[in-house]
Amino acid sequence: MTATEASLSAEQAWVPVNLPGKRPTTYRWMDQNGVRVIEATADKSASMLRRTLKIDACGEAKVRFSWRLDQANLLADVSQSDLEDASVRVILAFDGDHAKLSMRNQALFEMAELMSGERPPYATLMYVWDHKAATDSVVVNPRTDRIRDLVVESGTARLGRWLSYERDVAADYRRVFGEEPGRLIGLAIMTDSDNTGTQAQALYRDVDLVLR
């Protein structure tokens, strides 16, 4: 397999995932200074670009990613259900014992499965850039506590440049959810602007897991 074929194979592992009732965000692979990047363009929209995983033990796993955001959505606030947009997100999905879910979450998950044909993950950890929450803070999703945001960037000071991160998957999960992580079943990116009814554009590159 040539380097070009390997690159295309890696890109094909990423699959668009639309959300019921939402206009999809556009994700496009492009070259920027000889590097393959993903351009995400949201117009009152929300959807994911996702890779399916099957990693039983993520104790030594690191997630690496880089993103660039040139303009802030100052209306967005991940702690408010009617404003819960983020111009950049990197998402990790985990399996677990669904029998342990609260009655409310059971009902929410069943409704989501009916609407989308896919049951939500047991737990979802999102690395986000939010312009109101403080860096390193944890925000519980206003709809379900099985989705939690870890704010890795805040404010507007670092707009307009590539920012790179490496995070310890298991350590972040323990901190955010207070329990041991189950099987890691998905890695995704999401740029959305549906709740604020605005536009957003972002770039992503080098979104991957490192297993040691």
Q: What is the pLDDT of residue 83?
A: 96
Could you tell me the CATH number of the domain that includes residue 132? 2.60.120
Residue 50 domain boundaries:
3-210
- For the record, the structure tokens of 124 come out as 């979802």
Q: Rounded distance, CA 65 to CA 160, Å? A: 16
Q: Are 78 and 183 in contact (CB under 8 A)?
A: no
Q: What is the pLDDT of residue 211?
A: 86
- End-to-end, the C-alpha distance of the chain in Å comes to 25
Structural domain tally of the chain? 1
Q: What is the pLDDT of residue 57?
A: 80
Plot region of 142 (φ>0 → left; ψ -120 to 50 → alpha; else → beta): alpha
Listed residue (127, 147, 125, 144) closest to 136, CA to CA: 127
Q: Within 10 Å of residue 31's Cβ, how many Cβ atoms?
A: 8
Q: What is the pLDDT of residue 9?
A: 53
Q: Within 10 Å of residue 133's Cβ, how many Cβ atoms?
A: 19
pLDDT means per 10 residues, the chain with 212 residues, are: 46 93 96 94 98 88 96 96 96 96 95 92 98 95 96 97 97 96 96 97 95 79
Q: What is the pLDDT of residue 119?
A: 93
